[in-house]
Amino acid sequence: MFSIKCGRIDVSDSNFVSAFLSLLSSSLAVSALVNNEWILIDSNNEGSIGPHVDNRSSHEQLLNDLTFLRADVCRSIGTRHFWRSARFGSFVDMDGNSHIAYHFTSKVLIDCITPLIADLFYILIALCFVIVVTSSLACSLNLLAPAVGFFLWLRRTTILEVCNMILALLACSVCLLAESQVADLRPQSSVYIGPGLYLVALSGLLALFAAVVSLRRTSRLSRERRMHNQRILCARSLRSWRDIGHRADDARPIIDFERYLDSSNTASPLEMPRRY
């Protein structure tokens, strides 16, 4: 068996499959974090740009009237719209209809992003960032396989993978809520989910697979170690029980030790004595 030991780290206990799945989960979360198409907007059949705009003011006409604002057509909403500082504004067109403008960098989006939608996307960015961090940590723990301490507990219980699944579900829920807000803002447009949500959902699914693989491997190793300890008992217990009649006071320590070996789930297998 290939084994590399460095201090308290034993690479022979590394779970490379779970580490690879966690790495993929982190990569997908990064892709979702930089994706600019979480929500897609199709305005081909739209005769107005907002819920209060009548048919007399078309989208193109309003943009022509607002050329000094450098207004752009809102075709998608993603996380990159919120990386830099932005501000909101409002105005009333010549027909008396009010509109909301979202200013970022050198662009302006009309009736596309509201303060509530911006807050939801800030939450999405935070969730994706935490998924990246926890997935990377889970990958490191599965590779390094710490033998003791808090990190061992994290690896055995797959807490990080479970957190990633929960965070991915929360991110999907927040994205659906933002999509409903955009649909209410633009009722005459076709609003639907973009690839950003599918990326974070796939990241959560890979975290689930990583947790399952890690738990199965931990269970298998524990079972193998119990069987190994039982074989040691079969080979050595007769010698211990042979002298019980002569030393009855030694029976309890032997019984306790054998029960410990038989029921141990986390202890490492006993090392066989070396011959020199």
Q: Give 1-223's CATH code, choosing from 3.30.1360.120, 1.20.140.150, 3.40.50.12590, 1.50.10.10.
A: 1.20.140.150
pLDDT category of residue 101 using cuts at 50, 70 and 90: confident
Give 92's strand partners.
98
The predicted structure's pLDDT at residue 39: 93
The predicted structure's pLDDT at residue 136: 95
Q: Which of 3-7, 26-30, 101-105, 174-178 has the lowest mean pLDDT?
A: 3-7
Give 40's strand partners.
76, 192
Paired tokens of 204:
């959560």
- Residue reference for tokens 């006993």: 270
Tens of pLDDT, residue by residue over 53-91, are 444 345 555 555 554 455 677 888 999 888 887 788 777
In order, the DSSP letters of 17-78 are: HHHHHHHHHHHHHHHHHH-S-SEEEE-TT-S-SSTT--TTS-HHHHHHHTGGGTEE---EE-
Predicted TM-score (pTM) of the model is 0.70
Give the helix ranges, DSSP H, for 66-158. 115-144, 150-157
For the cut 80, the answer to whether the pLDDT of residue 268 exceeds it is no
3-state helix, strand, coil in the chain (%, to 5): 60, 15, 30
